[in-house]
Structure 1
Amino acid sequence: MNKHPSISLKFLLPLLAAIIAVSPLAIDMYLPAMLAIASDLNTSMPMVQNSLSIYLLGYSLGLILFGPMADKYSRRKLVILGLSGFFIANVLLPFAMNIEQFLSIRFFQAFISSAATVVVPGTIREYYGKDTAKGLSYVSMIMMVAPMLAPSIGSVLLLAHNWQLIFYVLSAYSLVVLILVIYALPEVNRASANSSDQTAKLSNSGEQVKSAQDFTFIERYQIVFSNVNARFYIITSMMVSLAFFGYITAIPYVYLKVFNVSETWFSVLFALNVCGLMSAHFTNTRLVTRHGSKVMLRSGLMLACVSVSALVFFNYNELSLGYTVASLLPLMASISMIAVNSDALILAQFPQQSGTATAVIGTLRWGAGSLAGPILAYFYDGSALPFAYLMFAAIMVVLSCQAIIHFKKY
C-alpha cells in the first residue's frame, strides 16, 4: 500500500490532516468574535458575516487555479506556498483598519491556502492507491477535531485577550505545520504515479500518448468533465454536500426553535452527530480495504435512504425530538461514508489529474453547499419539514446517480 517508504503513514496522515484543517479553523475559530470585530472596525454584523462568503469564494477560485497546477508542478512547493501565504494573512488580519481591508485579506487568506489543501487528496492517492478511501477516512476523522474544537478555542481566546489573538494563534498553528512540511513532507515521485500503459501507449499514428506534464490547463478540466462515470460520482459528491450544509444551516433552528431544546442540549446533540460522523469514517477505514469503495458507498446509501425516509416520516407526523435525533445520527454517518468513497472513486479514475479532479470536487461541492441556505429560506414554514425534504431530495438524487452507474454495466 505504501509506495513511498521514506515516511511512515502514521506520521503522514496526521500531517496531511493538519494541512487540510487550516480552512475549517479559519472558518470556525473566529465565529464567536464577529460582534467584537464589527465593533472594532466600526461596521455592521452582516458585513463581518460576509467575510465567511468572501472566504468561500476565495477558496473556490483558488482551487480552480491550483488544482491543475498540482498535477504539473511540485505538490510539496504548493503546500509550502499555501501555508506561507496563510501565515502572512493571519499576521496581517489583526492590523486591518476597516472592514474593506479585513475582507480583502480574508479573500487572500482563503485563495492562497487552497494551494496547500488541494494537494492532499492526490497525495493520499499516491500513498494508498486502490485503498484511497481508507486514507481519506483517516484524514477526515482526524480533521473533524478542528471544527469540533475551533469555536470553543475562539471563545477562550476572545475572553483571554481580544479577537486579534485568534488570528495570531492561527498564524502560529500554520507556522508549526509549515515547518513540519518543510522537514517531513516528501515530494511525490510522479513517475510512479503514472501507470506504464498511460505513459508508454502509442496511438494509431505511432505518436506517444501525452504524459501528465504535457496537458494544458483547459485540457485537464476537459479530461475530468468528459469522463461519464466521474460525472455521476461528482454529482453524488455535490448532493451529499448539499445535504451536509443543509444540516449545518437548519439544525440550530430545528433543535432550538422547533423542538425548544436549551443551548446546552443543542451542543450535546450536535457533538453526538459529529461523533457519528467520526464513527462512520472509522468504520470505513476498517472495512473499505476488504469490500472496496463501491460496496461501502452503496452500503452507506442504503442506510441513508432508510434514515432520510424515517426523518421525513417523523417530522411529517410531528413526532417528538427523540425520533428526529434517532434518524439524524445514522443519516449523517451514512452521508460521510458516501462522500469519502465517492471522492475516492473519482480520484481513482484520474491518476494523472488528481489535483484537477480535487479542484472540481471542491469547487462544485462548496457551490452546491452554498445553495442550502437559500433553498431552506425559500421553503421556510416554521417547521422542520423543509429541512427533511431537502435531505430526502439530495439522497434521492444520489440514489439515481448510483442506479445509472450500476445499470450502465448491463
Structure 2
Amino acid sequence: MTPADTFGTDDRIARKPMLVTLMVASSISPLAINIFIPSMATIADALGTDGPTVGLGLSLYLVAVAVLQIVAGPLSDRFGRRPVIIGGMVLFLAGTALCLFAETIGWFLAGRIIQAASATGIALSRAIVRDVYSRQRSAAMIGYVTMGLAVAPMIGPAIGGFMDTLLGWRSVFWLLMALGIVTLAFVIVDLNETNPNLGAPFTRQLSGYGKLLSEPSFWIYAGAGSFITASFFGFLGGATFVSVELLGLSPAEYGIWFILCPLGYAIGNFVTGRISERVGIKRMMVMGSSLTLVSTLIVLVPILFGYLSALTLFGPMILLGIGNGMTLPSATAGGVSVRTEAAGAAAGLLGSSQIGLGAVASSIAAAFAVGPHAATSLALVMLVPAGIALVFSLVAPRVSEE
C-alpha cells in the first residue's frame, strides 16, 4: 500500500487534503531558511554590508519562526487552519518581494522576517493531520508530511549556490517566489477547513496554552521532540568548524558529507509512516531516541581514542537522522493529542520549543567547538540532549488509538 493510499483511509471528515499539499506547505519554510546561505557573501557585497549582518537574515528568520508558531496555533483554533496558512503564504510572498527588490540591508532583513510567516505551514500541517486522523495513525501521516522538512534543507544550499553562480543572488528569491505561488495555489484549491472546534473566542484558545502546560504528558512529548532536535542542531552549530579547521574539508566537501543527516531523517520519516501504527507512539520514540544516542556515542568514541576523520564524524549522522525522523513525528503526534480541542496551539508550541532549544544548542556548539578539543565538545553537545530525549521517551505514557 502506498503512502497516498494510506493517507486516503480512516475517514473522519468529508475530504482530506492531498498528502502532497501538506508536504509542500510544510516544506517552503525550511527551504527558505538555508537556500540563501551560499549567497551571503554576494548579498553583502551587493547591499554594501558585511557577512555577519547578512547572517542576521538567518537568525532573525529563526526567531520569527519560533514566535510565529506560538501565535499561529491559537489563531488556527479560532479562525481555522485554512485561512491562517493562506495568510502566512501571502505574507511569505510579500517578504520575498521585499528581499528581491531590496537595495539596503534593512529592507532585506525586513523581508526575511516577513518570509518567516510561511512557518504556519510547518505547525498547522501537523495539526491538520491530527484533525483528520486518530492518534496512532497521525504519527504515520506526520512522518510522511515531514519528509519535506528533510528534503528541503538537503537540496536548498546546492540549488541556491548553483543559481547564484549562474544568475545572481536575486534569482534565488525569484525561485522562492515561484514556489510560494505554487504552494498558495495548492492550499487554496485543495485544503478544506479541518478544525473540528472552530469559532471559540481567541482568549479561550490562548488559554489552551495554560491547559497544555499543566499537562505532564505534554511536557514529556515536547521534551522528547525538543531535545532530539537539539542534538541535531548542536551538530549544525559546531560541525562546520570541525570539518574545515580540523579535517581540512572544503565547503563543498562539507556539503556533500552533510547530506547523510537529512537523508537519514527522510528514511526515519518513511519508517515511521510504515510501522508507527503497529508499533505505537511510545515505542517509536524510544527506538528513535535510542538510535540518536547511539549515533552520538559512535562519534565520541573515536575522538576519545585520538582518531577523527570525515567518515567517523559524518557517517553516524545518517543514524542520527533516522533517529530524529522516528522520534519527532511520534512526539508531535502525542503532543497534539493531549488536548485535541487545542491541537493548533499544541502544534505551535511544539514547533516553537523545538526550534528554540535547537537554536540554543547550535549556539552552545558554536561557542565551544573551537580549539584542539572542538570535536570532543561537539560530540558532548550532541550526546547530552540525545540522552535527555531518551529519558523523556522512556517515561512517555502508553496510549491506545483514539
TM-score normalized by structure 2? 0.89
Paired residue for 1:216?
A: 204
Paired residue for 1:3?
A: 12
Taking a change above 3 Å as real, the CA distance of residues 312 and 174 of structure 1, as seen in their structure-2 partners, is same
Question: Aligned partners of 1:357 and 1:334: how far apart in 2?
Answer: 22
1:235 maps to 2:217: no
Taking a change above 3 Å as real, the CA distance of residues 298 and 168 of structure 1, as seen in their structure-2 partners, is same
1:81–1:116 Cα contact (<8 Å) kept: no
Structure number with greater Rg is 1
Question: Aligned partners of 2:278 and 2:319: how far apart in 1?
Answer: 22
Paired residue for 2:162?
A: 156
- Give matches, 1:90-239, under 5 Å: 90-110=96-116, 112-130=117-135, 131-188=137-194, 190=196, 216-239=204-227
Question: Aligned partners of 1:345 and 1:296: how far apart in 2?
Answer: 11
Question: Aligned partners of 1:120 and 1:394: how far apart in 2?
Answer: 26
CA offset digits 1:32-77 (Å, max 9, x no partner): 2111211121111111111111111222222222211111112111
Question: Aligned partners of 1:109 and 1:71: how far apart in 2?
Answer: 22
Specify the code of the residue in structure 2 equivalent to 1:245: F
**Match among 269, 277, 280 for residue 268 of structure 2:** 280
In the alignment of these two chains, the number of paired residues is 385
Question: Aligned partners of 1:184 and 1:165: how far apart in 2?
Answer: 29
Paired residue for 1:343?
A: 332
Paired residue for 1:53?
A: 59
1:253 maps to 2:241: yes
3-state SS, counterpart of residue 113 of structure 1: helix
Paired residue for 2:3?
A: none
2:40–2:54 Cα contact (<8 Å) kept: yes
Taking a change above 3 Å as real, the CA distance of residues 352 and 325 of structure 1, as seen in their structure-2 partners, is same
1:84 maps to 2:66: no
CA offset digits 1:89-143 (Å, max 9, x no partner): 2122222221112112221221x32344431111011222221111111012234
Shift of 1:406: 6.1
CA offset digits 1:292-335 (Å, max 9, x no partner): 11111111223233332332222111234244444333233212
Specify the code of the residue in structure 1 equivalent to 2:360: L
3-state SS, counterpart of residue 15 of structure 2: coil
Taking a change above 3 Å as real, the CA distance of residues 381 and 234 of structure 1, as seen in their structure-2 partners, is same
TM-score normalized by structure 1? 0.87
CA offset digits 1:338-358 (Å, max 9, x no partner): 222111111121211111111
3-state SS, counterpart of residue 341 of structure 2: coil
1:361 maps to 2:350: yes
Moved more, 249-258 or 366-375: 249-258
Specify the code of the residue in structure 2 equivalent to 1:369: G
Question: Aligned partners of 1:214 and 1:92: how far apart in 2?
Answer: 31
Shift of 1:220: 1.3
**Match among 383, 386, 401 for residue 395 of structure 1:** 386
Shift of 1:392: 1.3
Question: Aligned partners of 1:30 and 1:343: how far apart in 2?
Answer: 28
1:18–1:143 Cα contact (<8 Å) kept: no
1:20 maps to 2:26: yes
Specify the code of the residue in structure 2 equivalent to 1:279: I
Shift of 1:184: 1.2
Shift of 1:145: 2.0
1:302 maps to 2:303: no
3-state SS, counterpart of residue 340 of structure 2: coil
Shift of 1:169: 1.7
Question: Aligned partners of 1:45 and 1:263: how far apart in 2?
Answer: 16
Paired residue for 1:316?
A: 304
Taking a change above 3 Å as real, the CA distance of residues 284 and 118 of structure 1, as seen in their structure-2 partners, is closer
RMSD of equivalent CA atoms = 2.3
CA offset digits 1:382-408 (Å, max 9, x no partner): 33111111111112212332344469x
Shift of 1:161: 2.3
Q: What are structure 1's unaligned runs of at least 5 residues? A: 194-210
Question: Aligned partners of 2:225 and 2:273: how far apart in 1?
Answer: 19
1:86–1:113 Cα contact (<8 Å) kept: yes
2:258–2:314 Cα contact (<8 Å) kept: no
Question: Aligned partners of 2:279 and 2:94: how far apart in 1?
Answer: 44
3-state SS, counterpart of residue 193 of structure 2: coil
2:49–2:105 Cα contact (<8 Å) kept: yes
Taking a change above 3 Å as real, the CA distance of residues 331 and 157 of structure 1, as seen in their structure-2 partners, is closer
2:127–2:336 Cα contact (<8 Å) kept: yes
2:26–2:146 Cα contact (<8 Å) kept: no
**Match among 344, 364, 369 for residue 375 of structure 1:** 364
Question: Aligned partners of 2:133 and 2:121: how far apart in 1?
Answer: 19
2:129–2:141 Cα contact (<8 Å) kept: yes
2:94–2:114 Cα contact (<8 Å) kept: no
Moved more, 160-169 or 227-236: 160-169
3-state SS, counterpart of residue 118 of structure 1: helix
